[in-house]
Amino acid sequence: MQTFRTGEDSEAYCFHSLHAPKYPWVHEQMFKTFDHQALRRGFQVYREVCASCHSLSRVPYRALVGTILTVDEAKALAEENEYDSEPNDEGIIEKRPGKLADYLPAPYPNDEAARFANNGALPPDLSLIVKARHGGCNYIFSLLTGYPDEPPAGAQVGAGLNFNPYFPGTGIAMARVLYDGLVDYEDETPASTSQMAKDVVEFLNWAAEPEMDDRKRMGMKVLVCTTVLFALSVWVKRYKWAGVKTRKITYDPPKPTNTRL
């Protein structure tokens, strides 16, 4: 870890943030898709741990169907929350149970309420957090698992901040939230800190690009079709030009004749 002095006569040191290491994410491979069991576990971690502060404002309930939840599970989850309905004849807006077309609710009504509840820090929306941060999945995973028990010697963080070597400036308002055994997975997967971080990062990657599996599937179809079309075009070209390519041009000089003058 590199350090630099804050002044010529100062004894305080500030730490640069560490670069997140590269992890072998399976879904980043060309011929691999999201692990739907991991997505379901990651959504559970988000609901039980992250949703109390962070929103997913770009993810509707219908997007969860077929990938993370069944139709009945998504409907039941949506109905747990209430949303504003259309104004009635008297102009009164009543509440209604949620439906699949609704988006996941935010934990706070507005940014001011979010800042007030978090000592002035605004928890970011997680819909596109993987794409919005340099390092993507590697950075988010390293951040969630990078909280030391105690800051290293010489490290200074501001009041109300927590030391994390992967966060720019190393002082982050969010405290450590993942601990071993914090979540009880329905598939009985051991809920270690790294396992929960891995699952929720995969879920957040899916939230940022839910079309990834369809895009890869379409890409494979395009590659197959273009390969077949290229092979056919080569065959047609060779067939059409076979007469020209195999034509031999020779020079046949005139034969000498014995003529008398």
**Going by C-beta distance under 8 Å and a sequence separation of 6 or more, which residues neighbour residue 212?**
27, 33, 34, 205, 206
188 Ramachandran zone, left/alpha/beta (phi>0; psi -120 to 50): left
Strand partners, 14: 4
Measured distance CA(170)–CA(145) in Å, rounded: 14
Q: Is 137 annotated as a binding residue?
A: no
Q: Are 45 and 199 in contact (CB under 8 A)?
A: yes
Q: Are 106 and 50 in contact (CB under 8 A)?
A: no
Tell whether 212 is in a known binding site.
no
DSSP state of 26: G
Q: Yes or no: say if 207 and 126 are a contact pair by the CB < 8 Å rule.
A: yes
Q: How many other β-carbons are positioned within 10 Å of the β-carbon of residue 211?
A: 11
27 is known to lie in a ligand binding site: no
Residue 54 is assigned to a ligand binding site? yes
Cβ neighbours of residue 125 closer than 8 Å, sequence gap 6 or more: 54, 55, 56, 57, 58
Element (H, E) at 16: none
Largest CA distance in the chain: 125
Residues 6+ apart with CB under 8 A from 201: 42, 130, 137, 140, 141, 144
List binding-site positions for heme c.
50, 53-54, 174
List binding-site positions.
50, 53-54, 174
